[in-house]
Structure 1
Amino acid sequence: MSTASVAVAHPDVRTDLDRPAVAIGVVSCCGLLVALLQTMVVPLVPVVPALLAVSPSSASWIITATLVAGAVSAPVLGRLGDMYGKRRMLLVSVWLVLASSVLAALAPNFAVLLVARALQGVSFGVIALGMSLMRDVLPAGRVGSGVGLMSSSLGVGGAAGPPLAGLVAEHASWRLLFAAVAAGALALVVLVPRLVPESRVRTGGRFDTVGALALGVALVLLLLGISKGGEWGWASTATLGSLGAAAVVLVLWGRYELRSGSPLVDLRVSARPAVLWTNVATVLLGFAIFATLVMATQILQAPVGTGYGFGLSMTDAGLVMLPLGGSMVVFSSVSARISRSRGPRTTVVLGAALLVLGNAGFATLPGSVWLVMVTATVSATGAALAYSALPLLIMRAVPETETAAANSMNTLMRQLGTSMVAAVAAAVAASLTMEVDGHLVPTGAAFTVSYLAAAGAALAGLVIAALTPAPGADRA
């Protein structure tokens, strides 16, 4: 038996907290803050070239660098959390948010801003760490609702980030965005050690440095190929070389991990059908979920002359999308109740069904702003149900000593799905264009094709979730 599989805690590690709601709230705020960091820079990408004297392709790296750093760091932070304490690593992540946000707010040039954004990406392991910590320290009856709220914070932050950023960017300095995040992180640095207990679950063992470096290289190559394929060309040497090298490194990494006595990721656990297929479903559902966030605002802001757009300003389009965040908060608690009574797999299937309907509705190109809002809310409701229940499926299928690492891999699967949305949308939009007011813009067919792909991904995720064998009784 590997040292990574040995727990050094009492079998019943949950703490009967006097104020579990407070702990849930604080940990969920950590997730919300990190989720805001993912999307709040989206409105800045078009203006960064003029502000910091860089090319448009370079400006897009303020998103790409964060995505790549987050993908690399998520499994590393998860493993360190299992080894040395999940709250400890959660606090390290929040400190990283604080330091990197201050750096971004004061950045004198684009290079420093890019470094700050990469450091912010390192903190993205907060979501998985927070969910795993809740499993360890909350009373059993509160785990489902806590994990649901933590998981939905990703969607809430994703929906709220663009309108808030658009409002600030249009009326004040973009640096205030990062200053506000730094202020929130400072508050959490104080609150986390005072209001959130530490888990007593430890795996022991040693950290797998070679495995972490190899996985980092593989993920950087993979995500570079996915995120830049549209710009480089999908058949280009750079794209094919990046994806091919990623495949080779992943195979070598897998062989090394299987032989390691203290692996970064226990692939034997990850290969269990309940874990493996849940992660596959997560990639597909991540694609379907973020299709709404990635493309709906483009439809709202597109010129009326396109035949499908509404010509809204950046701020107005963001405000139309705000109900998404509210619906995700409401339905995260509904998700917990369904999971308790019917099992988390039922919740995932229901959420996937709503994602099929929402994306299929967008494929018809809704003819009014109200229809866009209603359709987006249907998708957001499905996202809340699915996102809240997927971590419960993972945690039911792995030992308590592996929860942070397993949830970190599940978070990585979400990020892969998100990356694929941007790549597919960019590739389709580039091939289906028309000229409006002297500018090339995507045709309505481009959005129809992309949303049909998202609906198909949601349907495939639904089928996989329904057929995946449960590790035990199907209950939360």
Structure 2
Amino acid sequence: MTSTSASPSLDAAPAPHGQKWTPRLVGVLIALIWPTQLLVTVGILGSNATADVAQSFHTTQVAWFSLIVTLVSALLSPFVIKLGDLYGKKRIMLGMIALGVVGDVIAATAGSFEMVLVGRGLAACYGPFPALAFPAVRDIFPGRLVKSASGILGSSLGLVALGSPFLAGWLIDDWGYKGAMWFLAGATTVSFVLVATLVPETPKHAFDSGFDWLGGIVLGSGLAILVYAVGQGQSWGWGSVKTMAWLAAGAAALAGFLLVERASSHPILDLGVLRRRAVATTVVSGALAQAAAYTAPVVAILLALYPHIPGVSAGFGWTAQHSATVGVTWNLLLFVTGLVASRFLRGVDTRLIWWAGVATMGLGYLLAGLHHDGAAQLTWTMCVASLGSGLVVAAAPVLVVGAVSPDEQGLGSGMLTMLTHVFGAMFGAAMFAALAADSTVLEGTAFYGDSGYTWAFWVGALFSAVALAVGLLIPPLREPEEEAEEAPSAV
């Protein structure tokens, strides 16, 4: 249950009124940006490391190198959301980051693909971090700054996307995937220090001591089962009895969760908010679009890094460094677009930015599927997609701010994070299914043909189209300063 009280937690230090940026607020935002967008670096390094992992361990199951992160994150998300409301977000953040460091070290030192997956799975405890970071902005920042701070936190993805490919190229070209894993271990340690020293504890939004462990287990398991079934669908066969059985088990678990929550006096998630059109359309549209924005660029990375073998592999065969150099244009555009959008989010109907962003992103991936023959074509089509993605990552968290109350912010952001993981798993499965439809296996490694890359890009266009259709149903949203113009921040 969430509290409707406006009283801050006793754990949160009182702070003076103010509606302007201060050095302390800037420090807090940086401390939240680093660990939140480190997850993007994890994705970029993981994508660039995929080919090396596949060839190092001679496995055709390399999709699990990324999918295991999504699966574990989906399992843990409901617990993270509730624990953050019960005990304050900072202490939960620190626990998640600490587990992430341990997992990265295991992955870096693993001698088998199975142990790599164990390390990646443990590191995925860090995966639901955005479910706490974005609500923390609303808890800490004054109302007038919530939209701009949330937009900057989201759009900082572009800065990370700009630098990470060069970092990935240097690490993987010189040290292979192990170099990437060791870097993540060090960078995650920095996250721990930043959060521990700069981020204040946030108010509690749940004051009862009860915790619905059964509901959390059932929900997390249901989501994880669905992610697993989708991830294995290509190898099992989408119409096979095994795939259908796992999908049915996941659906049954989610249905069971509804019954458990209805009977619980301390529900882990207040599903009643989904009866409100603003919340339901915002989280579904936001998750679909973010899944495309975060996952579709993997297709361009695979196209660039996989070797060019006539009749076998349609990849360009670039080094990771060359791929990063070519990608500067679209990643820089993503960063600048997101930053500019964040500047103008206040006073503008966020839905307009959202609709424009999702539509442009979808058009870009549609064009990329048609035109990806060489660096020039890949560059201009990905620039169109990145123009839209910059608007999407800046506007998504702001949509949630307008759809829910302050006490529901953790719940709303958590639902967005959970659905983004689920849709991301679906996107990844659909992407690799499209690639596998035109593939050749040599010495245990799958190589992809041109039509596979075409259809993989079009998966991004499809997700964008569905996100836009749902997004057009979002009603007018509230402004955060309307509800807390004079409320003190936690800093």
Distance 2:103 2:295 in 1: 28
Match of 1:425 in 2: 431
**159-168 or 193-202, which deviates more:** 159-168
1:160 CA drift (Å): 5.2
Among 298, 315, 320, the residue aligned to 2:321:
315
Q: Among the aligned pairs, what percent are the same residue?
A: 24
- 1:69 Cα offset (Å): 0.7
Q: Deviations over 1:318-365 (max 9, x none)?
A: 332244443333222222233213222111111112112211221222
In 1, the alpha carbon distance for the partners of 2:201 and 2:480 equals: 28
Paired residues of 1:145 and 1:332 also in contact (CA < 8 A): no
Alignment correspondent of 2:232: 228
Say whether the 8 Å CA contact 1:338–1:347 is kept in structure 2. no
Superimposed CA distance per residue, residues 264-323 of structure 1 (whole angstroms, 9 cap, x where no aligned partner): 111001332111112221243134324531211233346284797544234322332244
Aligned position for 2:167: 164
Cα deviation, residue 404, structure 1 = 1.7
SS at match of 1:56: coil
Q: Is it true that 1:212 corresponds to 2:220 in the alignment?
A: no
Structure 2 length-normalised TM: 0.86
- CA deviations 1:231-258 (Å, max 9, x no partner) are 2211122211111111111011012223
Selected match of 2:264 from 241, 257, 260? 260
Counterpart AA for 2:185: A
Q: Which runs of 5+ in 1 are unaligned?
A: none
Structure 2 unpaired stretches of 5+: 483-491
Relative to structure 1, the CA distance from residue 45 to residue 362 in structure 2 (aligned partners, 3 Å threshold; closer, same or farther) is: closer
Shift in CA distance, 312/106, structure 1 to aligned 2, threshold 3 Å: closer
CA apart distance, 1:107: 3.4
Residue in 2 aligned with 1:468?
Answer: 474
- TM-aligned CA deviation for residue 8 of structure 1: 6.6
Distance in structure 2 (CA, Å) of the matches to 1:447 and 1:174: 23
Does residue 202 in structure 1 map to residue 201 in structure 2?
no
Specify the alignment match of 1:335 in structure 2.
Answer: 341
In the alignment, structure 1 residue 143 sits paired with structure 2 residue 146: yes
Check the 8 A contact 2:107/2:120 in 1, yes or no: yes
Distance 1:311 1:175, change over 3 A: closer
SS in 2 for 1:47: helix
Q: Per the alignment, do residues 348 and 25 of structure 1 end up closer, same or farther by CA in structure 2, a change over 3 Å counting?
A: same
Alignment partner of 1:99: what SS? helix
Please give the alpha-carbon distance, in whole angstroms, between the structure 2 residues aligned to 1:259 and 1:49: 46
Look up the match of 1:27: 32
Per the alignment, do residues 67 and 331 of structure 1 end up closer, same or farther by CA in structure 2, a change over 3 Å counting? same
Task: Tell me what 2:392 maps to.
Answer: 386
User: Which residue among 117, 122, 125 is the counterpart of 2:120?
Assistant: 117
| Distance in 1 of aligned mates of 2:172 and 2:284 | 37
CA shift in 2, pair 1:142/1:255, >3 Å: same
Q: Distance in 2 between matches of 1:191 and 1:311?
A: 38
Judged with a 3 Å threshold, the aligned counterparts in structure 2 of structure 1 residues 186 and 447 are, in CA distance, closer, same or farther, namely closer
Give the whole-Å Cα distance in 2 for the aligned partners of 1:333 and 1:201.
31
- In structure 1, what is the equivalent of residue 241 of structure 2? 237
Structure-2 change in CA distance of 1:21 and 1:474 (3 Å): closer
Equivalent of residue 299 in structure 2, options 281, 295, 299:
295
More displaced, 262-271 or 185-194? 185-194
Deviations 1:77-117 (A, max 9, x none): 12211111112222222222222223333335444432221
Cα pair 1:397 1:471 within 8 Å, conserved:
yes
Question: Which residue identity lines up with residue 224 of structure 2 in the other structure?
Answer: V
Contact 2:147 2:480 in 1 (8 A): no
Counting only pairs closer than 5 Å after superposition, residues 24-63 of structure 1 correspond to structure 2 as 24-48=29-53, 51=56, 54=57, 56-63=59-66
1:85-100 to 2 correspondences below 5 Å: 85-100=88-103
For residues 313 and 141 of structure 1, do their structure 2 counterparts lie closer, same or farther at Cα, with a shift above 3 Å needed?
same
SS of aligned partner of 1:371: helix
| Pair 1:102–1:273, CA change in 2 (3 A) | same
User: For residue 189 of structure 1, what is the aligned residue in structure 2?
Assistant: 192
Show the 5 A alignment for 1:330-369.
330-369=336-375
Do the aligned residues in 2 keep the contact of 1:144 with 1:340 (CA within 8 Å)? yes
Counterpart CA distance in 2 for 1:50 and 1:434 is: 14
Query: Deviation at 1:428?
Result: 2.4
- Where 2:40 maps in the other structure, the secondary structure is helix
- The separation in 1 between residues aligned to 2:117 and 2:361, in whole angstroms, is 34
Partner AA of 2:327 in structure 1: M
Quick check: 1:340–1:475 contact (8 Å CA) kept in 2? no
C-alpha distance in 2, partners of 1:412/1:14? Answer: 32
Preserved CA contact (<8 Å) 2:104 2:119: yes
- How far does residue 24 in structure 1 lie from its aligned partner after superposition? 0.8
Q: d(CA) in 2 for partners of 1:62 and 1:457?
A: 22
* Residue identity matched to 1:255: L
State the distance in 1 between where 2:159 and 2:246 align: 33
Cα pair distance change 1:45/1:248, threshold 3 Å: same
Letter aligned with residue 65 of structure 1: I
Shift of the 84–126 alpha-carbon distance from structure 1 to 2, 3 Å rule, reads: same
Task: Flag the 1:383–1:75 CA change in 2: closer, same or farther, 3 A.
Answer: farther
More relative contact order, 1 or 2 (CA 8 Å, 6+ apart): 2
Is the CA contact (8 Å cut-off) linking 2:277 and 2:474 kept in structure 1?
yes
Supply the RMSD in Å over aligned alpha carbons.
3.0
Residue 52 of structure 2 aligns with an amino acid whose one-letter code is V
In structure 1, distance between residues paired with 2:422 and 2:49: 23
Cα displacement string for residues 169-212 of structure 1 (whole angstroms, at most 9, x for unaligned residues): 22125433233222223233222232222222431222221111
